[in-house]
Structure formats: structure tokens, C-alpha cells
Amino acid sequence: MRKVGIVLGSASDLPVAEKAIGVLRTYGVPLEVRVLSAHRCPDEARAFAASARESGFSVLIAAAGMAAHLAGALAANTTLPVIGIPCACGGLGGMDALLSTVQMPSGIPVATVAVDGAKNAAILAVEILAVTDEALAQKLRMARAENTAAVLEQDRKIMEQYRQDAGRE
């Protein structure tokens, strides 16, 4: 299976990215984690993206905060799918990173997840891989079924908790 690349704008983004790493491990997806800033080491970030396909990557996940141009800078240099995680740091609660990541010009897409939405970034990467991997697709279906069961169990408990109020006006 081709690997997923997780690229951080800074080591300080690792706590967010660890949630994506955890999900990818759950699915048995090989991964590589790098720190490559679009601003502090643009040449290295560009070279990584430009060689990512021939290096065996399938999907790139970029996590960055503030003026978060990392996902876009990677996307500019590869035709692999790039998923952006805007990280909440600095004083603007991640809105700065969200807009910097999501507002890409036509022709260079970045699939942007929610602020700090690392789990969804990893699940989306797995879904991309699962297009041609039935075993992964089956794992995704099982995870969805577990999600559904967990919510229905919450529903059952909450209904039970408030059952006595059902007859009141």
C-alpha cells in the first residue's frame, strides 16, 4: 500500500497531527511524518511535494496554523490529493489558518477539513485509498456501523434518563 505523508508546518503542530496518525495506524496505513514549513524552508517543502508521487506517497496531509500556506504550497507542486488541516494557534482561534488553507485558486485544490480536524483528514485519506482497496473499504464500513451503534446507544440512554418527563406538559 502506498504511504500517506503527514507534513507539519512546525513541530508545534504535532499534538493536532497525532490524532490523524492514530487513525491511520488503526487502518494499518503506512505513513511518514515530516516538518516542512512553507515559509521557513520553502525549497525543501517544494522538493518534497515535487517528488512525493515517485517516493511512494498516495495522499498528503498538511497541518499548519496561522498564515497556513503549507497545504497550498504542497498542492502547487504535486498532483497527489492534498488534505489541509488548519490548526488553531495564535490569537485568532484557527480562523486565520482555515481561510489560508481553504481559499485556494481554481486549479490547485486543497481538501480542507475543520479547524484541528485531524481525524477527518485521516479518514478522508483512507477513503481515497479505499477507492482501490476493498479491505480498507470494508474497515471504513465497519467504523461507520460502530459510529451509528454508539449514537443509538446514547439516544437510548438519554431517552431513558428523561423518560419520566415524557408525560408532563
Which residues in this chain contact ligand RP5 in the complex, by CB under 6 A?
A: 9-10, 12-13, 37, 64-66, 87, 89
For residue 63, which of 89, 43, 44 has the smallest C-alpha distance? Answer: 89
Beta strands 111-112 and 57-65, pairing class: unpaired
Alpha carbon distance 43, 38 (integer Å): 8
Residue closer to ligand RP5 by CB (options 85, 123) is 85
Q: Which residue of the chain is nearest ligand RP5 when measured via CB?
A: 9
- Name the minimum Å distance from CB 151 to ligand RP5: 32
CB nearer ligand RP5, residue 10 or residue 58: 10
Q: How far is the CB of 8 from ligand RP5 (least distance, A)?
A: 6
Question: Nearest approach, Cβ of 24 to ligand RP5 (angstroms)?
Answer: 20
Residue 101 CB coordination number (10 Å): 29
- Considering beta carbons, is residue 65 or 84 the nearer one to ligand RP5? 65
Q: How far is the CB of 124 from ligand RP5 (least distance, A)?
A: 20
Count Cβ neighbours within 10 Å for each residue of 128-156 and write b for 16 or more, e otherwise. Answer: bbbeebeebeebbeeeeeeeeeeeeeeee
In terms of CB distance, is 96 or 130 closer to ligand RP5?
96
Edge-first strand order for the sheet with 111-112 is 31-35, 3-8, 57-65, 82-87, 111-112
